[in-house]
Amino acid sequence: MTDRLPGFDTLAIHAGAAPDAATGARATPIYQTTSFVFDDVDHAASLFGLQAFGNIYSRIGNPTCSVLEERVAALEGGTAALAVASGHAAEFLTFHTLLQPGDEFIAARKLYGGSINQFNHAYKNFGWNVVWADSDDPSSFEAAITPRTKAIFVESIANPGGVIVDLQAIAAIAKKHRIPFIVDNTMASPYLIRPFEHGADIIVHSATKFLGGHGNSVGGLIVDGGSFNFAGDDRYPMLSKPRPEYGGMVLAETFGNFGFAIAARVLGLRDLGPALSPFNAFLILNGIETLPLRMQRHSDNALAVAEHLANHSKVSWVSYPGLRSDRYHNLAKQYCPKGAGAVFTFGLKGGYEAGVKLVSNLKLFSHLANIGDTRSLVIHPASTTHRQLSDEQKTQAGAGPEVVRLSIGLEDKEDLIEDLNQALDAA
């Protein structure tokens, strides 16, 4: 008796993107405009008062960006989403909606280095205090909870690659203590892992990576799972208290199970301003149409390359959960049976010098600080992103002198293996 739900691949192409109402254009148009005319004065008042659905100004919302928002909300199985200028902006607006000065949140230690910096330094200016926990030990999250804890944050597949987080175990702790559980799903993408099905309340993305997938556009998304009831919860005044900006409206009551996404838009994006450009939204949308095909190929290629490296005489270890011998292999089978993603690290017997030589000698892999491109990418963290850290700090961050990180692209896997072989021979 219910309307049949379409499959993931169909959603990746169609969700949010009906033909354009004004022109019939079938591809989503790039609405490269700052502003939108009002139908009349009363309509303008309704839009500003959040009483009608519609477009005002592209810092707050834009029809190209809203197609991207609905697309990702549908792929993740959420109630609504908000597109923003970057993954960092997605994290920032998420915490801005949940935290007040003096509040705390608990984050997994294994995270993208940029997120670690953001939490350790930038957020201190707002009085938002990060407390670190060990994603390999879910009980460490429970031990870190205090009355000021407002959120728990992890990555589903964690940086620097090769780490699968037990989402259900941490979600159970979050639920028991009534704390919103935020999952950064950038590395997995909803094709490999759908965190709402494992108890997440909010998902953030750097769309720059696998959603866009072609290394051409920076962007971010916040997805509301609709599962956390903020109404009447005094710990979250942005959602549960009358907002003076909107005549005393209570957002969690007015917008129900997509109130979080609306609050992030009308209190966060509106006032802080990290809006996504419609052109970037268009390119990311184009990327998402092939997300299922690309993620499968990324994962299949990565497994082939990881298996090859694991047997290479110059390689001391490979950390990829797709490998049967990997410590995260069972979690990978549970959470991402289709594949363990594109990104992983390995160690060189020759240490720091061998790492520097390897990146210099590669001809197909690009030496740069990104992941999730069609092209295969390589970085030697100890000589680049982590070079300012002490040796001990490098090792703790999973960026010891011998560590190389790969983001495997969509090329022929034989070509990738040959490129690595010739570079390793010379290293």
Partner 1 sequence: MLIELPCPIPYGLAMDHSNYPNDYIRGILNSVKTIALVGASANPARPSWIVTKYLLERGYDVIPVNPGIAGTELLGKKVYGSLAEVPGPIDMVEIFRNSEAAGPLTDEALALDPLPKVIWMQLSVRNDEAAARAEAKGIKVVMDRCPKIEFGRLSGEISWQGVNSRMLSSKKPVLSGKGFQKLGLNRP
Q: Which is nearer to partner 1, 284 or 340 (CB)?
A: 284
53 is a contact residue toward partner 1 (CB under 8 A): yes
Q: Which is nearer to partner 1, 78 or 160 (CB)?
A: 78
- Separation of alpha carbons 183 and 350, rounded Å: 36
Single residue of 28, 58, 79, 149 touching partner 1 by CB under 8 A: 79
Q: Which is nearer to partner 1, 130 or 262 (CB)?
A: 262
Single residue of 12, 64, 70, 97 touching partner 1 by CB under 8 A: 70
Site map (CB under 8 A) of partner 1, residues 16-45, x = contact: x-xxxxx-x-----------xxxxx--x--
Single residue of 102, 127, 232, 247 touching partner 1 by CB under 8 A: 247
- Separation of alpha carbons 191 and 297, rounded Å: 12
59 is a contact residue toward partner 1 (CB under 8 A): no
DSSP characters over 112-162: -HHHHHHHHTGGGGGT-EEEEE-TT-THHHHHT--TTEEEEEEESEETTTT
Classify residue 213 as left (phi > 0), alpha (psi -120 to 50) or beta.
left
Q: Are 405 and 345 in contact (CB under 8 A)?
A: yes
> What type of residue sits at position 364?
L
Given the rule CB under 8 A, which of 9-17, 99-107, 172-180, 210-218 is the region that contacts partner 1?
9-17
Query: Which has the closest alpha carbon to 398: 129, 90, 134, 91?
Result: 134
Query: Which has the closest alpha carbon to 119: 154, 158, 165, 86?
Result: 154
49 is a contact residue toward partner 1 (CB under 8 A): yes
> What type of residue sits at position 342?
A
The helix-helix angle for 278-289 and 63-76 (nearest 10°) equals 40
Given the rule CB under 8 A, which of 70-78, 276-284, 293-301, 316-324 is the region that contacts partner 1?
70-78
Q: Output the six-digit token pair for 285.
A: 């949308």
Q: Output the six-digit token pair for 32.
A: 């490269």
Query: Which has the closest alpha carbon to 164: 195, 142, 143, 140?
Result: 195
Q: Which is nearer to partner 1, 239 or 354 (CB)?
A: 239
Strand 220-224, strand 202-206: pairing: antiparallel
> What type of residue sits at position 182?
I
DSSP state of 401: T
240 is a contact residue toward partner 1 (CB under 8 A): no
Q: Are 81 and 223 in contact (CB under 8 A)?
A: yes
Strand 343-348, strand 315-319: pairing: antiparallel
CB of 65 to partner 1, least distance (A): 8
332 is a contact residue toward partner 1 (CB under 8 A): no
Write out the H or E segment, with its range, that includes residue 348: strand 343-348
Note the residue count of the chain: 427
54 is a contact residue toward partner 1 (CB under 8 A): yes
147 is a contact residue toward partner 1 (CB under 8 A): no
CB of 1 to partner 1, least distance (A): 5
Single residue of 3, 234, 392, 425 touching partner 1 by CB under 8 A: 3
83 is a contact residue toward partner 1 (CB under 8 A): yes
61 is a contact residue toward partner 1 (CB under 8 A): yes
237 is a contact residue toward partner 1 (CB under 8 A): no
Binders in 163-182 for partner 1, by CB under 8 A: none
Binders in 249-278 for partner 1, by CB under 8 A: 249-250, 253-254, 256, 258, 261-262, 265
82 is a contact residue toward partner 1 (CB under 8 A): yes
Single residue of 63, 87, 161, 355 touching partner 1 by CB under 8 A: 63
CB of 34 to partner 1, least distance (A): 16
Q: Which is nearer to partner 1, 55 or 186 (CB)?
A: 55
Strand 366-367, strand 377-379: pairing: parallel
Q: Which is nearer to partner 1, 253 or 300 (CB)?
A: 253
Interface residues with partner 1 (CB under 8 A)?
1-6, 10-11, 14-16, 18-22, 24, 36-40, 43, 46-47, 49-55, 61, 63, 65-67, 69-70, 73-74, 78-83, 242, 246-250, 253-254, 256, 258, 261-262, 265
